[in-house]
């Protein structure tokens, strides 16, 4: 699993003597390092502390939801997916159906119909549409990059992870987060390339990063941009329906 793509904030502290991890409901995961610390070592630390980080993030999420008032639900007026360069406007049709469905009536027009005022049902319908769109566009992109790099995976899955853009298992299965669709195309290609490199190197060793550099020149700047991109994901796609 690619802890390098875990969402975190890196902060250099002149007073710090060792690397420290801190999780809060407001900021998520903070990685605090001393001045002069080699940032390339951070993924290894995160991998070693994975169990603690996952538990702390779950506690922080429960704390945030408990104290923050829930925003009023509104169906989005439009959806823009930079990863595939597509834009849709959304119209709604309230019906007596107990569920909500999303249908693409033209290449740039979606219709939502059913219990559209019911947040859980409406968001679930949008998420199902997002997952379908990911399978349609990003799984083929994974196949294309796999052939281009010669890094062959066995299976592809589409998921909606909370803290990772994608992952690769030891069985060489690649899981793509549907939220990738809200990222620019070059960042999506970097995430996919990163995971495919794990097919060959299931770690974050120097050999792994040399492989990433071979297939994705200038990856450090892309990795830096990626850490701040969670804010690009709209609320209806970022939170799990409850």
Tokens 């007073």 sit on residue: 15
In a domain, 73, yes or no: no
Nearest to 228 by CA among 171, 197, 198, 187: 187
30 to 205, 214, 227: CA distances (angstroms): 22, 29, 11
CA angle, corner 125, sides to 122 and 131, nearest 5?
145
Tokens of 78: 């439009």
Mean local confidence (pLDDT), 55-71: 71
43 plus 13 within the same structural domain:
yes
Pairing of strands 166-168, 155-159: unpaired
Strands 173-177 and 155-159: parallel
- Host domain of residue 173: 78-238
Q: Are residues 48 and 110 in the same domain?
A: no
What confidence score (pLDDT) does residue 5 get? 62
Tens of pLDDT, residue by residue over 100-154, are 999 999 989 999 999 998 889 999 999 999 999 999 999 999 999 999 999 999 9
Q: At 228, which CATH number?
A: 3.30.2010.10
pLDDT in tens, 216-239: 988 999 998 998 899 899 989 986
- Rounded Cα distance between 127 and 232, Å, is 16
Whether the predicted model's global pTM rises above the 0.85 cut? no
Paired tokens of 205: 């060793």
Is a pLDDT exceeding 90 seen at residue 1?
no
């Amino acid at each position: 699993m690619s802890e390098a793509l875990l969402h975190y904030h890196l902060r250099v502290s002149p007073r710090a003597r060792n690397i420290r991890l801190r999780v809060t409901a407001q900021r998520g995961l903070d990685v605090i390092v001393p001045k002069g610390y080699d940032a390339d070592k951070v993924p290894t630390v995160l991998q070693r502390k994975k169990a603690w980080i996952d538990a702390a993030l779950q506690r922080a999420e429960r704390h945030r939801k408990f104290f923050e008032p829930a925003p009023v639900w509104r169906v989005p007026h439009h959806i823009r997916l930079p990863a595939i360069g597509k834009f849709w406007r959304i119209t709604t049709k309230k019906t007596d159906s107990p569920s909500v469905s999303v249908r693409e009536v033209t290449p740039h027009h979606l219709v939502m119909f059913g219990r559209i005022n019911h947040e859980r049902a409406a968001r679930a319908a949008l998420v199902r549409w997002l997952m379908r769109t990911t399978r349609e566009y990003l799984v083929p992109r994974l196949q294309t990059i796999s052939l281009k790099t010669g890094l062959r995976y066995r299976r592809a899955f589409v998921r909606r992870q909370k803290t990772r853009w994608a992952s690769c298992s030891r069985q060489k299965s690649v899981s793509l987060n549907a939220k990738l669709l809200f990222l620019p195309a070059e960042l999506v290609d970097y995430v996919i390339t990163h995971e495919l490199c794990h097919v060959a190197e299931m770690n974050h060793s120097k050999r792994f990063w040399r492989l990433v550099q071979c297939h994705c020149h200038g990856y450090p700047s892309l990795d830096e941009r990626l850490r701040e991109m969670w804010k690009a994901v709209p609320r209806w796609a970022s939170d799990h329906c409850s």
